[in-house]
Amino acid sequence: MASYSVEFKRSALKELAALPSKKDRQRLVARIRSLADDPRPPGSEKLTDQERYRLRQGRYRILYEIDGGRCVVIVVKIADRKDVYRRK
């Protein structure tokens, strides 16, 4: 399997930087980096009404899209599980 590159939406980077705990940020970054090797790891689930996937890391969720043609994983949103699916 080809290695994927990981890209972030600007809003996802802001959400990551705004997390209160440095330890949580480090865990999330490690989990996101692992998506480059396997964009559909065990525990990831496809969202039903969108072409997005979700991955759990502690109490946070990482929402991402996979562009198979370009071999890119695009991180769309990072948020607490109680807020991640709410529309603004």
User: Residues of 33-71 as b/e, b for ≥16 C-beta within 10 angstroms?
Assistant: eebeeebeeeebeeeeeeebbbbebeebbbbbbbeeeee
Structural domains in the chain, CATH included, are 5-80 (3.30.2310.20)
Q: How high does pLDDT run on average in the chain?
A: 91
For the entire predicted model, the pTM comes to 0.89
Per-residue pLDDT of the chain (88 residues; tens, 9 = 90+): 568 999 999 999 999 999 999 999 999 999 999 999 999 999 999 998 889 999 999 999 999 999 988 999 999 999 998 887 777 5
